[in-house]
Structure 1
């Protein structure tokens, strides 16, 4: 089974974004990062995918909207992140 595509929307200087990327890096996960510091079409895309999102990072694994850094860390603590990353 192919691994799901991972998208992470970030802003420059965001410590929560760094923390989320560090965890994904430790897991060996490949992801696409979209910097929405200045807004633009990727910010609009993020809001289309997660209409109530007001903070970054916003993380999507496959079709699953994980949420932010704390949500990603919670999945790891619960032992659910590896299965989600594996597809």
Structure 2
């Protein structure tokens, strides 16, 4: 199974962002990080993709909005994350 595209919108010095990236790193998957600390077009893009997003990280797997760090960790605890990641 091939790995879906994984994107994570983050801000500098965000502990939740670091935690989410650490979990993804532990799975050995590649992902694209979009730093929106200073706002800009990637922040606008994130809000277009998930209009109710008010916090970071915002994680997308295969174009599907997963949520933040807590939701990612919950998927892992429930044994569902590996399947989403194509592992």
Output the TM-score relative to the length of structure 2.
0.97
Q: Which runs of 4+ in 1 moved over 2 A?
A: none
Unaligned runs of 5+ in 2: none
Equivalent position SS for 1:12: coil
How far 1:2 sits from its partner (Å)?
2.5
Work out the CA distance in 2 between the residues paired with 1:52 and 1:5. Answer: 22
Query: Number of residue pairs matched?
Result: 87
Work out the CA distance in 2 between the residues paired with 1:3 and 1:30. Answer: 9
Output the TM-score relative to the length of structure 1.
0.97
1:38 has 2:33 as partner: no
Work out the CA distance in 1 between the residues paired with 2:3 and 2:86. Answer: 5
Task: State the Cα RMSD in Å.
Answer: 1.0
